[in-house]
Amino acid sequence: MPYYGCHLSISKGFEAMGKDALFIGADTFAFFPRNPRGGQMRPLDELDIQRLKQLLQDHEFGPLVAHAPYIYNMATGDPEASAVVRQRMKEDLERLDHLPNVYYNIHPGAHVGQGQEQGISNVASVIKDVLSEGFSTPILLETMAGKGTELGGQFQELAAIISELDSDPQVGVCLDTCHVSDGGYDVAQDLDGVLDELDQVVGLERLAAVHVNDSKNPAGSHKDRHELLGDGTLGLDFFRSLVQSPRLKDLPMILETPNKKLEGYKREIAMLRAFEQGATVQEAQSQIESEPTQ
């Protein structure tokens, strides 16, 4: 079965994130290893990490998903900017290697006018340099909405990056449901068809995590605006199909919906679990109607 969670704040430490996850009924979660604007990391607290490890073991958590700061642009052609990204990625991975069963999810970046081919080459160069340090944490390239010169809006772009890395098994993919829809893939009406294409182009064995988001915009809009589950253009029937898909079993499914409080994520996780167990949309909504919406 899939694991469910959301993005949690690391501001109070690792164990605190685990406790927040338990509060909302999660058995996975995502987090920024440092300030999301790319600033400094908290000092390493080995005791805090050990307490989180015990919590994860006691409650049978699935893989965690660390998210690189959005400011990282691996596709940049600026040597100084690229050097900063490489150094900070190495620092992130050094920290993540202290945790069990965690992925490092990152946006490929934008080529900002250099052209798609050069941008792809730049991304591959950064990842190759970072992985040469011998880190054990897998890197996941996120599917994107294809805004402007952003890379990752098409599966072929992710495949090209992986190809330049000699198909390194340490590099995988995180599928974002809002992004792939906004990027032009009609997941709402043809989830299996989209997964077939991902399998043919990239290889479904590389799919290691899913970002579960509704979208404010129609398929192909290239906007990247997340929405609460059921309030967007994908709809609850799609999310029911998503969690019931045998091709996505055992994957961490991370909510990045615009809830204002943890209770909103608690409600959405309860809904996804009800869907997984076979509830209809109406039955799932009835089961969780007592939960706050946000």
98 is known to lie in a ligand binding site: no
Instruction: Identify the pLDDT of residue 35.
Output: 82
Question: Which uninterrupted H or E stretch holds 123?
Answer: helix 116-131
67 is known to lie in a ligand binding site: yes
pLDDT at 200 over 90: yes
User: Is residue 174 helix, strand or coil?
Assistant: strand
256 is known to lie in a ligand binding site: yes
| Domain segments of the chain as ranges | 3-287
211 is known to lie in a ligand binding site: yes
Instruction: Identify the pLDDT of residue 38.
Output: 67
* Pairs from 230-237 (Cβ < 8 Å, separation ≥ 24): 232/178, 233/181, 233/188, 234/177, 234/178, 234/181, 234/187, 234/188, 235/188, 236/271, 236/275, 236/281, 236/284, 236/285, 237/281
User: Is residue 288 helix, strand or coil?
Assistant: coil
Question: Which uninterrupted H or E stretch holds 5?
Answer: strand 3-6
7 is known to lie in a ligand binding site: no
Write the pLDDT tens digit of every residue in 65-89. Answer: 999 999 999 999 999 999 999 999 9
pLDDT at 292 over 70: no
What are 294's strand-pairing partners? none
User: Is residue 210 helix, strand or coil?
Assistant: strand
pLDDT at 260 over 80: yes
CATH, domain 3-287, list 3.40.47.10, 3.30.930.10, 3.40.50.720, 3.20.20.150: 3.20.20.150
227 is known to lie in a ligand binding site: no
Sheet of strand 207-212: strand arrangement: 3-6, 252-255, 207-212, 171-176, 139-142, 102-106, 64-67, 30-31
Instruction: Identify the pLDDT of residue 206.
Output: 99
